[in-house]
Amino acid sequence: MATCVTKVPVPSKRVLGLNVHSFTEPELEELILRSARDRDGFVATYATAYSLASTRRNPAFCRALNSCDVCYPDGWGVAFASLLLGNGTMPKTTANRYFLRLCDRATRAGLSIALVGGRPGVAAKVANKIRDMNEAAQLWIVDGYSFGNEADFEDLQMFRPNLLFIAMGQPKQESVALELRKMLPGAVIVCVGGLFDFVAGAVPRCPESVRSAGMEWAFRLVTRPQQVWRRYVIGLPKLGAMVAVERVKKVVRTR
């Protein structure tokens, strides 16, 4: 279960073993900004269809996601699973829609930001994007390949970020975030997966019209087949089967 649920104004819904919070993007953005300003730290991550499909065969991953204070639905697969399981609808919440706006607001409010993750040079490009909006931004950056030595942890503790983004992919980023929560109890730590690549322009962004139509998965499958085929070709059908089995169980229990 989440460790700091009293801080989260939205109740969680149980979706195939995961506690998922039904945030809209503006609601989540405001929670992150307010908590970072007040030093009311928490860990936020996301659930995708592939995440849900992976938790049954990887209980440790499921426990890590449920140990985060916020887990929001990133993808229509999670929203549909929630609906089909009788938990009601959920909005699709995606970090790449609010990330730069949030960083701009945070830095203009004098809040410090740490960027951890990505391939070499990617976090630096993200930092440049933030500095283009506010050249006085207080930033600390390190790529995901080199992060993890004792000096990094010491530097990060000295920097004391208000806001920390971790882009290492699941499930590694959640494990790192939960460890960093012990060292930086006042920081808001947000797991963002491959977001840095999108912000830095290393991979193509999905057009807004395609995203609004719920076809972002198809765009990613066409433009990045080697990286995402397993997520969609295997993950989505597996999730559908899991939802079907759970619905049958519910029907049997009600008889």
CA separation for the pair 46, 86 (Å, rounded): 20
What does the pLDDT read at residue 2? 39
> What does the pLDDT read at residue 7?
60
pLDDT at 214: 66
b/e code 176-197 from CB counts within 10 Å (16+ = b): bbbebbeebeebbbbbbbbbbb
Splitting the chain (255 residues) into consecutive groups of 10 residues, what average pLDDT does each group show? 52 89 92 96 93 87 95 88 87 90 97 95 96 96 88 94 96 95 96 94 74 69 69 74 82 71
Distance of CA 205 to the CA centre of its chain: 17
- Answer for the pair 106, 33: CB distance below 8 angstroms, yes or no: yes
Q: Please tell me the predicted confidence (pLDDT) of residue 213.
A: 66
pLDDT for 247:
80
pTM reported for the whole predicted model: 0.88
- Where along the chain do its domains lie? 5-209
- Give the span between the Cα atoms of 136 and 157, in whole angstroms: 21
Q: What local confidence, expressed as pLDDT, does residue 4 receive? A: 44
